Structure 1
Amino acid sequence: MSNTDGLLLVIALGGNAFMKKGEGVEKQWENVKRAARSIVELIKKGYRVVVTHGNGPQVGLILEWIYRASPHLASTITMDMAGAMTQGWLGYMLQQAIGNELEANNLPRRIVTIVTQVLVDPNDPAFRNPTKYVGPYYDCKEAEEIAKKTGWVFKPDPRGGCRRVVPSPKPLEIVELDAIRRLVSQNYVVVAVGGGGVPVTRSNNGLIGVEAVIDKDLASSLLARRLGADAFIILTDVDYVYIDYGKPSQRALKTLTSSEARRLLEQGQFPPGSMGPKIQAAIEFVEERGPNAYAAIGSLDHALDVVEGRKGTRIVKG
């Protein structure tokens, strides 16, 4: 029996778990199988795991495919529907790959995907200032031409090129939380809150979907807090959190207190469309969960090392 037994991790997978920059959809299975190996390595060590994931490239592709195939359908297949489609698409891939990896390691195939709705405020100011990147990378001149035809909003991506941006309201409540909690208690690996969840608001007639994409790290942090997770782990395509990222003075950060992280965030060290929400999500988790919990950000290729503090950036309350 190891001292990791029973510790609950919420693992937020970045988009590189499915498609790395410059890759097409044909690489998805290869990447998902690599992610599955990392997750099952954690399970073998005794951790309990809930998996969340991004969907930016995929939801953007769905909307683009619909527009190019049938422009008249673009207004009827809304972004919340596209988000639900990606939860099924990507959840299926993770569910199969993780399940196969569990069986290959003589572990029970106990994994399930939940199409998750997440409540947002219809008056959230994010609806007036879209910042969330979705879809493929474009040359900025091409993006300008597409914007003229579609009314979509594009912004430069810090990683290069231009991408479509959409509203990213704050997650308030996870509708299917009780179901997720029950499955975790029965030792299921649960894939949930895919792409930040399908954004919904409350109306007199119940829940209704809205055109937005919730940041998956903020939604994952909310899920981790509501589940009482011991750690919140963001696995992405960078090995550490950096200050002065991309500059000659760039420096990796191995540990951060929540107050230090907040100060650097307020100084503009972490852009709102990339590392900013990850840092905010980590701060919210550790400040609510207290000194015995931690958040970590690091490379998907070194998941176990990130979880156990040998690599990546660890954020603690302080």
Structure 2
Amino acid sequence: MSNQEESLNIESLLKLSEFKGKTFVIKYGGSIMDNAEAQSAFIEDLKLLNAMGVNLVIVHGGGPEISKWLQKAGVENKWVKGLRVTDSETMEIVEMVLSGSVNKKLTSNLSINGLKAIGLSGKDSNLINARKTYVEDDGAKVDIGYVGEVVSINKEVILNLLDNDYIPVISPVGGDSEGNSYNINADYAASFISGALEADKFLVMTDIDGVYTDINDPSTLLPSITAAEVNHLIDRGVIFGGMIPKMECCMDALHKGTKGVHLIDGRKKHGLLLNILTEGGTKIISGGGNE
């Protein structure tokens, strides 16, 4: 038995009673979606949190699944500055994959395990109101198609479901007043939802333990980090690539009203529960920078 598994004792589990009535927004994605053992442990963690009276909201991604289906359809995957170029044909596939296949598989999996899960697209009841966004590349404004940013959240939909003990499972597809669909980065969608709900915890499931000052040295894992420190590490190149937008989302969630933000390694068995009980991973806290 590992040290992590040993930490899941009765005394630790009783600590969860402190979170009764609290709201946790979970960004679900990364390698955990392709890891059957991690998925099973994740569902067990959700069941325990649900039984303890925690309000749970899940926002999922699905990038690898989108790429797979685009390839099957013979549609080329194109990227600009880390964002998928999404023309009308691509958007049709994105919406089918995220709001159809991925969302319903996850919702079904939770439901057959005894959880009251409801799958939603961001377009349902204007849950995620979005607008078209552009990318700046070498000083030029680039149109990347139906890629959007969140304008507002219809949080009453989520609150009504939570009041009736349902777990909303949300795909990051937004819409505008003209009926257009937009592909939205799941981290950004989740952080906006967390802020709108003023969630007690925003839990971002990633493919690493947290933020390191030296990715090659496990001893440099930071238990906590402020916005100012995040910006400093970005400037130094310590935080780079896909971690930059992820950290920006975490800071934005705090700025919008989330009380606590945590990066969690979703690959680890019971990583979600262990983070909540032991404050593992990296916690992003208020203080300086882009607050």
Q: Name the TM tier (shorter chain).
A: 0.7 to 0.9
% identical aligned pairs: 21
Which whole-Å deviations, capped at 9, do the CAs of 1:248-279 have from their partners, x for residues lacking one?
6982111112322233234433224x212221
1:65 aligns with 2:72: yes
1:183 aligns with 2:161: yes
Could you tell me how far apart the structure 2 residues matched to 1:310 and 1:216 are?
24
Could you tell me how far apart the structure 2 residues matched to 1:200 and 1:81 are?
15
1:173 aligns with 2:152: yes
TM-score where L is the length of structure 1: 0.69
Q: What is the match of residue 111 of structure 1?
A: 117
- CA distance 1:167–1:34, shift in 2 (3 Å): farther
Which whole-Å deviations, capped at 9, do the CAs of 1:265-311 have from their partners, x for residues lacking one?
34433224x21222111111122326xx1100012231112123431
Deviation at 1:44, TM superposition (A): 3.1
Contact 2:129 2:174 in 1 (8 A): yes
Q: What is the match of residue 242 of structure 1?
A: 212
Q: What is the match of residue 276 of structure 1?
A: 244
Deviation at 1:232, TM superposition (A): 0.3
Which whole-Å deviations, capped at 9, do the CAs of 1:124-173 have from their partners, x for residues lacking one?
332758xxxxxxxxxxxxxxxxxxxxxxxxxxxxxxxxxxx998653322
Contact 1:84 1:198 in 2 (8 A): no
Could you tell me how far apart the structure 1 residues matched to 2:67 and 2:278 are?
34
Q: What is the match of residue 81 of structure 2?
A: none
1:314 aligns with 2:283: yes
- Give the secondary-structure state (helix, strand or coil) at the position aligned to 2:121: coil
Contact 2:88 2:145 in 1 (8 A): no
- Give the secondary-structure state (helix, strand or coil) at the position aligned to 1:296: strand
- Give the secondary-structure state (helix, strand or coil) at the position aligned to 1:40: helix
- Give the secondary-structure state (helix, strand or coil) at the position aligned to 1:241: coil
Deviation at 1:76, TM superposition (A): 6.0
Task: Mark the runs of 5 or more structure 2 residues left unpaired by the alignment.
Answer: 1-13, 76-85, 139-143
- Structure 1 stretches of 4+ with a deviation exceeding 6 A read none
Q: 1:1-318, aligned counterparts within 5 Å?
A: 2-19=17-34, 32-67=39-74, 77-101=89-113, 103=114, 109-117=115-123, 118-122=128-132, 124-126=133-135, 169-174=148-153, 176-192=154-170, 194=171, 197-202=172-177, 206-210=178-182, 213-245=183-215, 247=216, 251-272=220-241, 274-289=242-257, 293-300=259-266, 301=269, 302-318=271-287
Which whole-Å deviations, capped at 9, do the CAs of 1:71-128 have from their partners, x for residues lacking one?
xxx9763325423432221222222222233x3xxxxx42101111344443x33275
Could you tell me how far apart the structure 1 residues matched to 2:99 and 2:32 are?
14
RMSD of aligned Cα (Å) = 3.0
Deviation at 1:48, TM superposition (A): 1.4
Contact 2:121 2:174 in 1 (8 A): no
Alignment length (residue pairs)? 250
TM-score where L is the length of structure 2: 0.74
Could you tell me how far apart the structure 1 residues matched to 2:165 and 2:199 are?
14
